[in-house]
Amino acid sequence: MKDRLRERFSNRIGIKWGLFSGFAAFAAIILVMLWVFQIMFLGSFYKFIKVSDIKNSAQTIERNINSDDLSTLIQNIARDNQICIIVSDEYGDLFYSEDALPNCVIHRLNGLQRAFIYEITRRNGGVYFEQFPEDNMRTVPNWDQQIPENPDSPESMIYTFITERENGKHLLVLLNSTISPVGSTVQTLRVQLTWITVIMLILAFFLALFLSRRISGPIIKINSSAKVLAQGNYDVQFAENGYREIAELGATLNYAAKELSKVETLRRDLIANVSHDLRTPLTMITGYAEVMRDLPGENTPENVQVIIDEANRLTTLVNDMLDLSKMQAGAQKLSPSFFDLTESVRDILGRYNKLTDYHISFTADRDVTVYADELKISQVVYNLVNNAITYTGEDKVVRLRQTEHDGKVRIEVRDTGEGIEQDKLKDIWERYYKVDKAHKRAQIGTGLGLSIVKTILDMHGGAYGVQSEQGVGSTFWFELDVQGDSVVEAPKPLSNVSR
C-alpha cells in the first residue's frame, strides 16, 4: 500500500520542500522589492514627494488667503517644508515673505521681475510650475531655453499661482523649494543593501529550513502513523506535538484509532456471539431432526416443537440484527400514536407469566398515556425484560415499576443478578457488547437487546439509563413524556433517525 501511494503521488512536491520553497521565494521577493524601491526609484519617489509638498503648500495658502493668521501660516509652512514663500501683488509689491532656504531663487527677484512673473502666470492660466538646475541661477522663467540636466546638481522648483482676496485684489504667490541630488545616497544604500541581501538570504535559508521542518515534521509523522493505522494496527500512536492545529489533529486521530480499536473488538465479539447464537439452535435442530429420522417412535409433537422453537430463535436473532441495522441507518420510520403505556406493559408481562417460571411483578399508581410508536416501545420493554430474565439471580425475580415526575413517566426493570462493574456501565449500550462474554449460562434473546433499546429511545428523544450494584442487581429505566387525558393536538413529530 505504501508503495502504491508513493507511486501515485511521486510527482508532487513534499510539504517540507514546499514550505521551504515558499519561505525562500517570499524572502527573495522582499529583497527584490527593497532593491527596486530603494535604488531604482528612489530619485523618482523623492522628486514626487517634493513636488507634492510644494503643491500641497500652495493649496493650503490659497484656502487661507483671507485668514487673519496668514502670516503665521506662511511661517509654519516654510519652516516645516523647507520652502521659500513670497506673496506680492500684480505690480511686484511684497505682502508676505519667508526665506527658509539658502540661495533662495525667488528672494533674488526684484519688483519688476515679480511683476513679469505675475504676467507669465496669468497667461499660463493662473498657475505656473518649473524645475531647473540651481547651477543655472535662473531668476525668471524661460520656456524656450533648454537646460541640460546634471544628476549630481541640486534642482530648484518654482511654483506660482494667482489668487483673489475677498476685497477683489489679485495676489501672486511664489513658492521655491530645492531637490537635493540622491546619487550619493543611492550609492550608500546600494552598499548597505548588498550586505543586507547577503545576510537576509543566509537567515532566510536557515529560517525557511527550520520552519519547514517544524511544520512538516509532525505532519510527516502523522502521515506515517496513518499508513500503519490503515493496515489495521490500531495500537499506533499519533504525535501530539507541533503547532496547535497539528497537535489537535494528532489527538483526534488517536481518538479515532481508539474508537476503531473498539469497533474491531466489537466486530470480533459479534462474530463469536453470532456464531455461538447460531450454532446452538442449529445443533438442536440438526440433532432432533436426526433423532426423528433414525429412531422409530421419536417423531413426536414434543420433538417437533423443539425444532420449531429453535427455528423461531434463529428468526428472532436475524430479525433483531436487521432491525438494529435499519434503525441505526435511519431506514425505519416511527409511527407514533397515543396509547396506554401502563396497559401495554401489563399485556407484555402477561405473556411472560404464561411462558416462564420467573416471578415478574409490575407496580403502577395509575394508567399513563404517551405519544410514541407503540410497537417500538413494546420492543424496548421486551428487551429490558429479556435482559433482566437473563441475568437475574437464582430467585428468578424481576420487578417492574412505573413512576411519574415532572411530566414524565419512568419504567424501571430491576433484576437480582450479580450486577455490572461501574467501569462497564458506559459500554453496555454499545452494539454487540456483552458483559458475559463467556456464555456461561443459557440466554433468552440475541445479545443485541440493549443496543436496540438505546436506538429506539434515541429515535423518540427519550431518556434512559442504568444503576447497578455488584452483588445486588441492576435497574434499567427509560422515560417518555406523559400526555393528558384529553389531548386535542398531537405533539411535534418524533425523529425518525437515531441520535
**How do residues 357-374 score in pLDDT, each as one tens digit?**
889 999 999 999 999 999
Q: In terms of C-beta distances under 8 Å and separation of at least 24 residues, what long-range contacts does 41-48 make, across chains too? A: 42/182, 42/185, 42/186, 42/189, 43/151, 43/182, 43/186, 46/179, 46/182, 47/155, 47/179
d(C-alpha 240, C-alpha 336), whole Å: 48
171 beta partners = 89, 163
Q: pTM score, two decimals?
A: 0.44
Q: Are 171 and 163 in contact (CB under 8 A)?
A: yes
Query: For residues 33 and 42, what is the distance between their CA atoms, to the nearest angstrom?
Result: 12
β-strand pairing of 170-179 with 369-372: unpaired
448: left (phi over 0), alpha (psi -120 to 50) or beta: alpha
* pLDDT for the residue 159: 93
| CATH class of the 42-138+152-181 domain in this structure | alpha beta
| Helix or strand run (H / E) with residue 262 | helix 244-294
Instruction: Tell me the C-alpha distance between 181 and 135, whole Å.
Output: 13
Quick one: which of 432, 438, 435, 413 has its CA closest to 424? 435
Q: What is the pLDDT of residue 488?
A: 37
pLDDT value, residue 330: 66
**Which residue in this structure is represented by grid cell 440484527?**
321
The count of other CB atoms within 10 Å of the CB of residue 345 is: 21
> What does the block give as the cell for 51?
513636488
Q: What class is the 244-326 domain?
A: mainly alpha
Q: What share of the chain is helix, strand, coil (3-state, %, to 5)?
A: 55, 15, 30
Query: Does residue 147 contact residue 136 with C-beta atoms inside 8 Å?
Result: yes
Low-confidence residues of the chain, pLDDT below 70?
Answer: 1-16, 134-153, 182-186, 266, 269-270, 273-274, 276-277, 280, 324, 327-332, 355, 431-447, 485-499
Please tell me the CATH code under which domain 333-483 is placed: 3.30.565.10
pLDDT tens by residue, 432-453: 556 654 444 444 455 677 888 8
